[in-house]
Structure 1
Amino acid sequence: MSRTITVGLDGSPESRAAADWAAREAQLSGLPVKLVHVWEPVPEPMAQAPLLGGETHQHWSERIPRESAEGLRLRHPGVEVTTEQLTGRPAEVLARAAKDAELLVLGSRGLGGIGGFLVGSVGLAVVAHTERPVVLVRADEQAAGRHDRDPAGIPSVAVPLRPVLLGVDAAGPDAAPIEFAFDAAARRSVPLRVLHGWNPPSYYAYGMALDPEVTKMLVQSDADALAEALSPWRQKYPDIEVVVESRFGSPSLLLIDASREASLVVVGRRVRRSSVGAHIGTVTHAVLHHATAPVAVVAHD
């Protein structure tokens, strides 16, 4: 497998922000960036329209990656940038492209205010159908206010000194998201914040008071499970400051709130190879739509 950071590019501000994020990640990891532009063939009746002819589509499909690559090379000297034009349904093509990448980076559109963000059908489909890590990057007014801008005026989504945030399930932590988060924190030389949200047993929903001793026992049990899961990675990355939090509340809401102080949010997605089809968990789905930092989704068994 060729180790590249691949970007799904469509010419939108969101995809340009994703390309800039990928270029900064490439500088940290020493990997090349590949800009992939997918041209979905236009239905024949539309293709014959005067303003939507085949030459017009070919012109834009060539111009978008070419100009984006030129801009990246100027803003990020030293990063190797290549382009590739593919034809087909964007979600299917990008999912295939991800198989040959170290990381796939996509853009998502900000809705503004409390509405959060919009991860469109293409982004969700790619996340659900690829087993490679996928990062969703947003370009919106909130992000522009939180981050510096590069010379081209594009909001910078790199936040030096802010920690990497890892959301874990203490009941079944998997090594893949943990390793990804530690590696990301090490490249950035920032702390790693590990956050686990938990709710009381279901029978407490029927009006039973949560016994303090039971609460203490649940918290300690989660703490022990997290400590065991993180132990190998703490040994591998001894210089990384790790802050572990096990807090009462909705995991998705806790992660969304904590994302305001993170440079990157890392969450997992369990791979389901069954007739039910691909699946994005409820926590990951919520974080994708509402986190205010780039979100990395790491698939695991």
Structure 2
Amino acid sequence: MSREIVAGVDGSPESLAAADWAAREARRRGLALRLVYAWRTEPLSIPLGQDRARQDRMADEVVRAAESTIGGRYPGLALTAEVLADTPVSALLGTEERAEMLVIGSRGHGAVVGFLLGSHGQQIIAAATRPVVAVRARDDAEDAEADDEGGEIVVGQQGSPEDSAAAFGFAFAAAAARGASLRAVRAWNLPSLYAYSPGSMALADEAGGLVPYEEKSLREALAPWRERFPEVPVTEQVEIGSAGQVLLTSSGAARLLVVGRRAKRGALGSRIGSVAHAALHLAPCPVAVVPHE
């Protein structure tokens, strides 16, 4: 089954920015792009007249306008667009079988305030089994396509090599596709008194201390991906501090920030996670949230 990139559109500047980003990524990776607008007429609690035909025409106009804009900017791109009779969350999640990634818009107000992620976006990111990229509308007149090439991609690493494999795989593939370098960031904190144990301290002692231990952990997690993508220049960064804050301070000039999200469902349902939440709301660049087991 051929893979595709799926972007949600709704007529807003943010969704058009997401579709534009998705088009460039699809062209780089040699994939098709599918634009999706979710629309379902809901019964009203107050009995007012609803012009279903007019509403359907408006929905079709939104998706066709996005298709025309993206198709005009990127001729030759394999592009489809459709209106799905469903809610935005269910519609986008329903495309995952063929999706390489999902791309959504996110309201942004500059590098200081960053993303204001709507409830639909949060639900999609929390439940998706594919990577979800959140893109905000640009606040300046720079050429987005030129600004998108090269540069640096920042990816966070936590836990074991297995924990970060999905995020690293996505980040290295994205860097290779656009000729970018990659910055792998591992944040750490001093363990609390109750976290000390002979076993954990023995591992740190063998590595020469806590900092060398963290550096060794990052190198081991990176090793298979550096071998698979030898053309991608990699910078290793190990820094003390909270993972969210370290990632944000490291991604000021990044083209893309990649973070992982554990895909396990809790008693209250799926959650985004604190690191991904901070990145989505405060990072000035597009943010990819990659689920892992």
Identify whether the pair has TM-score above 0.5, normalized to the shorter chain. yes
Which letter maps to 2:98? D
Gap runs ≥5 in structure 1: 150-154, 205-212
Q: SS at the partner of 1:265? A: strand
- Is the Cα contact below 8 Å between 2:17 and 2:138 reproduced in 1? no
Corresponding residue number in structure 1 for 2:88: 90
Give 1:81 shift.
Answer: 1.0
Corresponding residue number in structure 2 for 1:73: 71
Give 1:202 shift.
Answer: 2.4
Which letter maps to 1:183? A
Q: Distance in 1 between matches of 2:277 and 2:146?
A: 21
Corresponding residue number in structure 2 for 1:165: 154
Matches within 5 A, 1:93-242: 93-112=91-110, 114-141=112-139, 144=140, 148-149=142-143, 158-171=147-160, 173-203=163-193, 217-242=209-234
Q: Distance in 2 between matches of 1:113 and 1:174?
A: 27
How has the CA–CA distance of structure 1 residues 231 and 92 changed in structure 2, closer, same or farther, with 3 Å as cutoff? same
Corresponding residue number in structure 1 for 2:248: 256
- Is the Cα contact below 8 Å between 1:106 and 1:123 reproduced in 2? yes
Give 1:228 shift.
Answer: 0.9
- Is the Cα contact below 8 Å between 1:5 and 1:102 reproduced in 2? yes
Q: Distance in 2 between matches of 1:122 and 1:216?
A: 47
Give 1:171 shift.
Answer: 4.8
RMSD over aligned Cα, in angstroms? 2.4
Corresponding residue number in structure 2 for 1:29: 29
How has the CA–CA distance of structure 1 residues 47 and 266 changed in structure 2, closer, same or farther, with 3 Å as cutoff? farther
Q: Which moves more between the two structures, 24-33 or 172-181? A: 172-181
How has the CA–CA distance of structure 1 residues 171 and 199 changed in structure 2, closer, same or farther, with 3 Å as cutoff? farther
Q: SS at the partner of 1:41? A: coil
Q: Which moves more between the two structures, 165-174 or 232-241? A: 165-174
Corresponding residue number in structure 1 for 2:197: none
Q: SS at the partner of 1:261? A: coil
- Is the Cα contact below 8 Å between 2:41 and 2:52 reproduced in 1? no
Per-residue Cα deviation, 1:242-276 (whole angstroms, up to 9, x for no partner): 00000111211121222221111110011114544
Per-residue Cα deviation, 1:205-226 (whole angstroms, up to 9, x for no partner): xxxxxxxx99971111111111
Corresponding residue number in structure 2 for 1:41: 41
Corresponding residue number in structure 2 for 1:15: 15
Q: Distance in 1 between matches of 2:239 and 2:215?
A: 10
- Is the Cα contact below 8 Å between 2:156 and 2:258 reproduced in 1? yes
Q: SS at the partner of 1:36? A: strand
- Is the Cα contact below 8 Å between 2:154 and 2:183 reproduced in 1? yes
Per-residue Cα deviation, 1:37-94 (whole angstroms, up to 9, x for no partner): 0003133467844xx6222211111001111111111111111110121122211221
How has the CA–CA distance of structure 1 residues 29 and 294 changed in structure 2, closer, same or farther, with 3 Å as cutoff? same
Q: Distance in 2 between matches of 1:157 and 1:298?
A: 25
Q: SS at the partner of 1:132? A: coil
How has the CA–CA distance of structure 1 residues 10 and 198 changed in structure 2, closer, same or farther, with 3 Å as cutoff? same
Q: SS at the partner of 1:139? A: coil
Matches within 5 A, 1:258-297: 258-297=250-289
- Report the TM-score when normalising by structure 2: 0.89
**Percent identical:** 40
- Is the Cα contact below 8 Å between 1:21 and 1:157 reproduced in 2? no
- Is the Cα contact below 8 Å between 2:265 and 2:271 reproduced in 1? no
- Report the TM-score when normalising by structure 1: 0.87
Q: SS at the partner of 2:271? A: coil
- Is the Cα contact below 8 Å between 1:91 and 1:122 reproduced in 2? yes
Runs (4+) off by over 6 Å: 213-216
Corresponding residue number in structure 1 for 2:3: 3
